[in-house]
Homo-oligomer: A and B are copies of this chain.
Amino acid sequence: MSGTMVLGLDVGGTSTRATVVSLTGERLGTGRAGGGNPTSHGAEPAAAQLRIALHAALAGLDPTLVRAGTIGLAGAGRLLADPAGRAAFDRAWHQVGLRCPYAVVGDALVAYASGTAEPDGTILIAGTGAIAAEVRDLTLDRVADGHGWLLGDAGSGFWLGREAVRHTLAELDAQQPPGTLGRLVLTELLGSAQVAPRSRDTGDLLVQAVTRRAPVELAGLAPLLVRAAADGEPAATGIVAEAARLLAASVARIRPTAARSPVVLGGGLLTGATPLADAVRPALAARWPTAPLLGAGDGAVAAAWLAARALPEVTDPAELHRRLLGRAPS
């Protein structure tokens, strides 16, 4: 295998994904490992996952032909400000035989670039957390939310999961029989949808089941809410509509009213035809009727594309984007 290659990494809290691509748009190798965020996992354990993903992606390839790399990472600024973390990443990079430099960028930029080659636009992500950012010349500019579960992440998976439990507690307080959503929540957290003769006792058990775990694990209940909304339960659709309103409000804090640039929807709750994506699209279209609303694609491939577009031989980055990520240049 010969020819110039570039490498992209999408480093998340639960998985690290690496992809090697050619400048003609072929995917040459992929690798996957566990969470590699140095802030949450520590510099050395994170670098070890990086090495595993890189090693797999480079199998059968000559690493010295990789000309550029980009690592997309939540809290990229913290890594750049952390000499130990940066050194651990450098070592992992060189241990697999890579000789080229690499750039570290925010995961929000990688998610944006996975949806469009346009240099200016907006990215909205809803997964465990939620964040919106303006992109200018393929660099992150203004950011809204992403403030974490205690103070922010409005409309995120955490937010949906918490509202699902709050709705169930309100039903129990009012001594109403739990609806679809309440039954799903009770079964998930207590093993049964049965309500005690004193419904307050069931509510207390529910609160205890949640507070025994880390608060952020409430995000694990978001799929129940999505399922109840898909079933048409009014309470669940109401909560999804409110989440969509909050996400659109986060976008409105940073995106100019007259913008016509694309908006990319990313994160597990907005990628694909989810009920939340179905609710967010009209909320965004109402404010920005001419903006293309695009879905996010493969983050590691997008990171590789970000690396490639800086090379002098890549004369048509939009065409390379189309080949790699399957969208027509807009």
Contacts and interface: CB of A to CB of B under 8 A. Distances in A.
A273 interface: no
Interface string A246-265: 00001001100000000000
A166 B152 contact: yes
Nearest to A175: B142
A215 interface: yes
Interface in A169-210: 169-170, 173-175, 200, 203, 207, 210
**In the complex, which range does the number of interface residues on chain A fall in?**
20 to 34
Contacts of A210: 150-151
A145 interface: yes
Contacts of A148: 207, 211
A174 B210 CA distance: 33
A277 to B, nearest CB: 22
Contacts of A117: none
A254 to B, nearest CB: 7
Interface of A: 142-145, 147-148, 150-152, 154, 162, 165-166, 169-170, 173-175, 200, 203, 207, 210-211, 215, 250, 253-254
3 smallest CB-CB distances across A and B, nearest first, come from A144-B173, A174-B253, A173-B253
